[in-house]
Structure 1
Amino acid sequence: MRYSKQIGFRLAATSSLMIFALPAYAQQAPQASNVASDGIVVTATKRTASTIQATPIAVQAIGGADLQAKGAIDFADFYRTVPGLSVQDEGPGDKRYVVRGINASGAGTVGLYLDEVVITGENSQDGGGQAPDIKLFDIDRVEVLKGPQGTTFGASSMAGTMRYITAKPDLDKVTGYVQGGLRTTKGADLGMQTDGAINIPVIPGRFAVRASGFYADLPGWINNRFEKGANGEKSKAARLSTRLKATDDLTIDTMMMIQKVHQDAKNYYNLQDFGGAKLPANYQADVVRSPYDDKSEIYNVTANYKRSFGTVTATGSRFIRDTGFVRDASLAAQAFFGLPYDTTGRSALVQNKHRKVDSAELRFASDFKGPVQMLVGAFMQNEDRYYRSSWPKADTTGNIPANAALLLDRAVNTQIRERALFGELSYKILPDLTFTAGARWFDFKLDQQSVALVAAGGGAGAGAGPVLKTKDQGVIGRFNLAYKVSSHTNAYVQVAQGYRSGGTNDQTAAALANVVIPDGYGSDQLWSYEFGLKNTLLDRKLYLNGAVYYIDWSNIQVSQQASNGTVSFGYTGNGGKASVTGFEAEVDARPIPGLRLTGSLNYSNAKLDRDNPVPATGRKGDRIPYVPTWSGATGISYSAPLGSNGLMGTIGADATYQGPMDTKFNSTISNWQHLNGYWLIGLRAGISKDAWAVNLNATNLSNNQTVINFNEIVPGVYPLGYYVSRPRTITLSGSVKF
């Protein structure tokens, strides 16, 4: 679909809005341009580094020191503190991020980056959108950019972008750290985690190497017939970074990272077994072992060439991800083929995915002397995926023999090619008033072919199917008016467009059962209208930020179902129209030395504005799934000297709230479930002196076991699986810096 025809109308509307706003701004006397220098510096605009308070978009950053103080090791440990960020969570490596109420099937709606590397969840009918859980070791900061970021970050950033920024090599000093800790989780054995880094200037001032690593053994609290603590997680990761200052103007950074995650079983439990009998607490019903493996490899080279008039950046990346997921399919074999689940039907669905993404970008960010600044760039991405889904029988030990008989076997090959040109032009209308207009031209092509290797029930498959193709081309835009109201207050108005390309539906499995599903679905798009204020008050002792927004979302990609009366198959189609009205607020107060008070609040009214094309899948007024109306967080910490020997003590507490939400649009949809709201409370205390520190952290102190998601396999056939937050966990850790 082309968007360029919409740009003219939107530009006119945007210009009218901004012109209407100009007189009030123009009456203000020019103020000093100094901004607070003690905030976290972000690179959210790709044009220049600036503090959060000076960046005219909604962005929140969490520094590496704060993540370490909270004992955070992955996304689940910090996302609740970010207003407007929620998640559809099924455990490590199996999450869909939701920003400002934009959530749907198909590709992810939130772009995900590690430095310059695109690691966004894939666009796929079979579990699309799930992004890797990057472990939080040797991290400089995490940036969460809210609202459409498509002009600078591309297609799947229609709702926002999240960026993990790693610590970079230091050219001048030998530095590093080592930390380790013991973790005890209610209902689980003792676990441990450790990470560290070392930075070596090989050629001082010119070339440095930074190496870091991570390991965690987190025992599980859910049992099954095969083992105790079956959902335990073992993770390990290593990263090697280099920085070469080839000349005073040219810097070349490289980064290589590998990460592996393994679970013997996922994080859900069942209330009853496959025969309907009641199970003990925190117990899985599976009669087949269901391990999960996730391996990611990330490579990047980035060159920055700085001149007095601007910076040229060239970056190239490769992201490889291999996942293997086994889920019990014994009840499905009983329902579809008449094979008893506890004997001849004992079987599993085995899903193996290989994904390789090569991306490159060349951009220029100006640093002109006059009122005009610009960002221009070109982007390309080649993605290749191989997905295989087989249905082998298992033995009585719950294992799958090497020569297991197959009830179904199919493979899918996918190729995606994307090209884009993007740019932004900023003009300083007045000394404190800047207008920015940006656009992105994109060209997207997807080819997909499925191969039926074994037909349903075990017969010969039909072989290779047709090559399904989809493509998309168009232009999207962004408009921003930033005004420095005073030395204490910055305001902005932004109108931005986001989009997500369409895709294909693998018809192989459905065709084997004589069920007809569409061969593809179209793109969806949205416009976001936002007004924000950022205040730095009381001599930088109080930061108060907020934004109100309205999002108009059309042609939504939604999950549909097709059936032959006996068997149903899911596919992705295009729905109706939705809107999101919301506001968010953040406060960060430091009233006296050592005391810090934080708080955040988000309201989101995300609902369908008209029925989906198939009304049973969503009706006007239905709330968008996995979007709470209210969410928030609050925290307090206090640090003070302990005597005169240099010891420093710190205590802190935090509480987060996620409001109620639903898993489907309405209760008439198969397997609709309601999720109750819940609070999580954490406490922490620490002692430090010079380079060493000892910390005690408690998360989920009240051991809240409110269900946060449900395991959906075959509605009406399998007993529900329940996901909860990690039970009360206490971590004792120590660290040394050098």
Structure 2
Amino acid sequence: NTFEMRGQAGIDDTAHGGIGYNAAAVFNAPLGKNAAVRVDGFYRSDHGYVDSIGNNPIFNLLTGAELGRTLVAKNFNDRKSFGGRASVLFDPTNNLSIRLTAFAQNLNSGGGNFFDINPATLQSLYGGFVQSVYQPEPTHIKYRVYYGTADWDIGFASLFSSTSYSTFKEDLETDDTFALGAVVNLIADLGPAAGLFGLPVLAQTPITRPLGLQLFQTTGTKKFTQELRLASPNNDTLEWLIGAFYTHESSAIDPQNLLATEFGTDTVATDVAPIALIFLRSTYQEYAGFGNVTWHITPRADLTVGGRLAHNNQHAHEVLTSPLIGDQLADDKSSESVFTYSVAPRYELSKHASVYARVASGFRPGGPNVIPVGSPPGIPTTYKADRLTNWELGLKAEAPDAHLWSIELAAYHIDWKDIQLFEIVNQIGINANGGKAKVNGLEFSGALRPVPGLTLSSNGAYTNAKLKDDTPPLTGGFRGDPLPWVPRWSGALHADYEFPLNPRMGGFVGGSLAYIGKRNAAFNERNPDGSLVRIPGYTEVDLRAGVNVGRFTVEAFARNLFDKRGLTDAFGFNGASFPNGAAAAAAIRPRTVGLTLTANIAP
């Protein structure tokens, strides 16, 4: 029930790229005695830093003539996002609270963050952030969420309801010129004569001009959820909660069209037949009931036990039309029930320290495989949920003066079974269930405040995650292989110091050092000797400093201060996925320095 208005604006400069900027604002105001409204919005423009340099020509397979080269485009992976949220809180009575919220966000990108690397050295193939892309690859995303909650104290318990409806839409384009462009140009160049060679006819007259190949895809999801929870009041002996959950999701890839284009553009070549037209719709419906009970055995010991039974029904329908691979129709369903549970005892060593244990299970839903009508027998039409069981022991402690220090320690073991994998059965790609994996780990976090204004904190993790069974050959994993992209060691150190400059002005400085250890790429990304591709670890340093003057704060920052090129993804090590035998990688954002101004306009 307070009036608040706050705004923020910033500017930054990214190495190898250019200037970006951002702005945000929030407004909060009471509406009488029992209601309030809160509105916020933001806009952000991140400058790109990946280039395409007009190299790697491709040639007509019939004439040998050059069809074209990669785009000449600088900093094309720019990203712009904007959105906002509006929320109304209404308390019609002392024991009923209602909140209604709407959220919207749009994201537009000019291209991906990947760049070409040497598969042997993992270094940039062309000395910088260069991607071999022949045609633009823009992405446009719209996300909308509408939800309402009601919290009603009915005396013997509280009843909580959460209702939401969300929509997601993504329009993206993918350049497939390198993979299929030469073949499409060959067939189009033959015109009607292609049929004489047993090839599909793509053009009624020979097409001699260069053609590119572009995938145009629109993906959408509409999702409704409803959850009800009935919870007992706080009690010194026994507390309970029961609830029900329902969701219905309708998703579609409509369309997914692979089309010939005028080379170097995303302008469709209308005199060339579509290479492939794909339409896919699916639904996911889940019902679940859940509950938990907490028993306070003594003033220092308690035990929480919970369970959840869920059932889902799924349906997928696909239509594919293609002169290259033929037409396909698929319609499949699946149905599955899964029970999960948790058991969590806790014991207070003192008012400021406790130990706990927890055993809990989780799952990822299975689903139907989209099998074309008329496929050979023996292809599984569904795949099961894969499941995790987690065992954890932990300690939480803090100083009697909680502001002095705090620490959390945890050790855990995870069993993962029926791992969902992709494999080929009778020349049909399907989702399937593989074997098992295990994860052993340690986690630490702590904070220390040795003097007024100074906060030192850190966190770290040790993770040993490996396969217990071989995977299907297409996935490429063997027993004992580390799970992809899981570092054995990771951690971070943070330091922040606030200090007075004069009675009206304060200053602050801070820094962070984050470390991500070595990781392995995907199981099927291997070196010529058969060993897994090993991704180097990296360290990132961030700095910040600023002043507070009344209602205003000015902060200067530097992220990735030493401009490290820490890899976060890498793939395509077979030598044929990208031009010039390259693989592809993505990295943390290059060094970015900037300035942010925040104004607390009211109160």
SS in 2 for 1:622: coil
SS in 1 for 2:562: coil
1:422 is matched with 290
Given that 1:286 and 1:328 are in contact with CA atoms closer than 8 Å, whether structure 2 keeps it comes out as yes
Structure 2 residue identity aligned to 1:727: P
Q: Distance in 2 between matches of 1:432 and 1:307?
A: 29
Q: Distance in 1 between matches of 2:448 and 2:573?
A: 46
In structure 2, the CA distance between the partners of 1:717 and 1:338, relative to structure 1 (3 Å rule), is: farther
Among 195, 211, 231, the alignment partner of 2:39 is 211
In structure 2, the CA distance between the partners of 1:207 and 1:278, relative to structure 1 (3 Å rule), is: closer
SS in 2 for 1:346: strand
Q: How far 1:505 sits from its partner (Å)?
A: 3.0
Q: How far 1:240 sits from its partner (Å)?
A: 0.7
Q: Distance in 1 between matches of 2:546 and 2:442?
A: 35
SS in 1 for 2:166: strand
1:653 is matched with 511
SS in 1 for 2:502: coil
Given that 1:366 and 1:374 are in contact with CA atoms closer than 8 Å, whether structure 2 keeps it comes out as yes
Q: Distance in 2 between matches of 1:199 and 1:221?
A: 37
Q: CA-to-partner distance for each residue in 1:363-382, whole Å, 9 max, x for gaps?
A: 01211444010111000000
Among 348, 354, 361, the alignment partner of 1:497 is 361
Given that 2:215 and 2:257 are in contact with CA atoms closer than 8 Å, whether structure 1 keeps it comes out as yes
Q: Distance in 1 between matches of 2:323 and 2:232?
A: 58
1:289 is matched with 136
Q: Map of 1:468-507 to 2, 5 A cutoff?
A: 468-507=332-371
Q: Distance in 2 between matches of 1:319 and 1:713?
A: 38
Q: Distance in 1 between matches of 2:183 and 2:474?
A: 28
Q: CA RMSD in A?
A: 2.7
Q: CA-to-partner distance for each residue in 1:59-85, whole Å, 9 max, x for gaps?
A: xxxxxxxxxxxxxxxxxxxxxxxxxxx
Given that 1:423 and 1:439 are in contact with CA atoms closer than 8 Å, whether structure 2 keeps it comes out as yes
Given that 1:331 and 1:345 are in contact with CA atoms closer than 8 Å, whether structure 2 keeps it comes out as no
1:454 is matched with 322
Q: CA-to-partner distance for each residue in 1:479-536, whole Å, 9 max, x for gaps?
A: 010111101101111010111111233345997xx99964332111121110011001
Q: Does 1:577 align with 2:436?
A: yes
Given that 1:271 and 1:280 are in contact with CA atoms closer than 8 Å, whether structure 2 keeps it comes out as no
2:205 is matched with none
2:231 is matched with 365
In structure 2, the CA distance between the partners of 1:589 and 1:370, relative to structure 1 (3 Å rule), is: closer
Given that 1:419 and 1:442 are in contact with CA atoms closer than 8 Å, whether structure 2 keeps it comes out as yes
Q: Distance in 1 between matches of 2:35 and 2:413?
A: 48
2:180 is matched with 333
Q: How many residues align?
A: 551
1:703 is matched with 563
Among 1, 9, 17, the alignment partner of 1:180 is 9
Given that 1:576 and 1:613 are in contact with CA atoms closer than 8 Å, whether structure 2 keeps it comes out as no
Among 386, 398, 408, the alignment partner of 2:276 is 408
Q: How far 1:311 sits from its partner (Å)?
A: 1.9
Structure 1: where are the runs of 5+ without partners? 1-171
Q: Distance in 2 between matches of 1:181 and 1:432?
A: 49
1:690 is matched with 550
In structure 2, the CA distance between the partners of 1:369 and 1:707, relative to structure 1 (3 Å rule), is: closer
In structure 2, the CA distance between the partners of 1:343 and 1:726, relative to structure 1 (3 Å rule), is: farther
In structure 2, the CA distance between the partners of 1:563 and 1:441, relative to structure 1 (3 Å rule), is: closer
Moved more, 182-191 or 705-714: 705-714
Structure 2: where are the runs of 5+ without partners? 53-70, 119-123, 189-207
SS in 1 for 2:180: helix
Q: Distance in 2 between matches of 1:192 and 1:328?
A: 29
In structure 2, the CA distance between the partners of 1:334 and 1:227, relative to structure 1 (3 Å rule), is: closer
TM score, norm. by length of structure 2 = 0.86
Q: How far 1:299 sits from its partner (Å)?
A: 0.6
Q: Does 1:549 align with 2:378?
A: no
Q: Distance in 1 between matches of 2:493 and 2:263?
A: 50
TM score, norm. by length of structure 1 = 0.71
1:256 is matched with 102
Q: How far 1:556 sits from its partner (Å)?
A: 0.7
1:734 is matched with 597
Q: Distance in 2 between matches of 1:188 and 1:490?
A: 49
Q: Distance in 2 between matches of 1:339 and 1:503?
A: 39
In structure 2, the CA distance between the partners of 1:309 and 1:447, relative to structure 1 (3 Å rule), is: same
Given that 2:577 and 2:583 are in contact with CA atoms closer than 8 Å, whether structure 1 keeps it comes out as no
Given that 1:262 and 1:294 are in contact with CA atoms closer than 8 Å, whether structure 2 keeps it comes out as yes
Among 145, 163, 168, the alignment partner of 1:316 is 163
Q: Distance in 1 between matches of 2:167 and 2:476?
A: 35
Q: Distance in 1 between matches of 2:453 and 2:5?
A: 26
Q: Distance in 1 between matches of 2:575 and 2:471?
A: 21
In structure 2, the CA distance between the partners of 1:528 and 1:212, relative to structure 1 (3 Å rule), is: same
Q: CA-to-partner distance for each residue in 1:427-456, whole Å, 9 max, x for gaps?
A: 111111111110001111110010113343
Given that 2:211 and 2:262 are in contact with CA atoms closer than 8 Å, whether structure 1 keeps it comes out as no
Q: How far 1:264 sits from its partner (Å)?
A: 1.0
In structure 2, the CA distance between the partners of 1:477 and 1:351, relative to structure 1 (3 Å rule), is: same
Higher RCO (CA 8 Å, separation ≥ 6 residues): 1
Q: CA-to-partner distance for each residue in 1:187-239, whole Å, 9 max, x for gaps?
A: 11211001111011122x21111111010111101122253210010000111
Q: Distance in 2 between matches of 1:553 and 1:260?
A: 36
Q: CA-to-partner distance for each residue in 1:670-707, whole Å, 9 max, x for gaps?
A: 99643211011000001013321000111000000132
Q: How far 1:715 sits from its partner (Å)?
A: 6.8
Given that 1:709 and 1:723 are in contact with CA atoms closer than 8 Å, whether structure 2 keeps it comes out as yes
Given that 2:291 and 2:308 are in contact with CA atoms closer than 8 Å, whether structure 1 keeps it comes out as yes
1:76 is matched with none
SS in 1 for 2:87: strand
Q: Distance in 2 between matches of 1:677 and 1:446?
A: 41
Given that 1:382 and 1:415 are in contact with CA atoms closer than 8 Å, whether structure 2 keeps it comes out as yes
Q: How far 1:616 sits from its partner (Å)?
A: 6.6
2:537 is matched with 677
Q: How far 1:714 sits from its partner (Å)?
A: 8.8
In structure 2, the CA distance between the partners of 1:714 and 1:313, relative to structure 1 (3 Å rule), is: farther
SS in 2 for 1:393: strand
2:266 is matched with 399
Q: Distance in 1 between matches of 2:395 and 2:261?
A: 59
Structure 1 residue identity aligned to 2:257: S
SS in 2 for 1:352: strand
1:587 is matched with 446
In structure 2, the CA distance between the partners of 1:267 and 1:343, relative to structure 1 (3 Å rule), is: farther
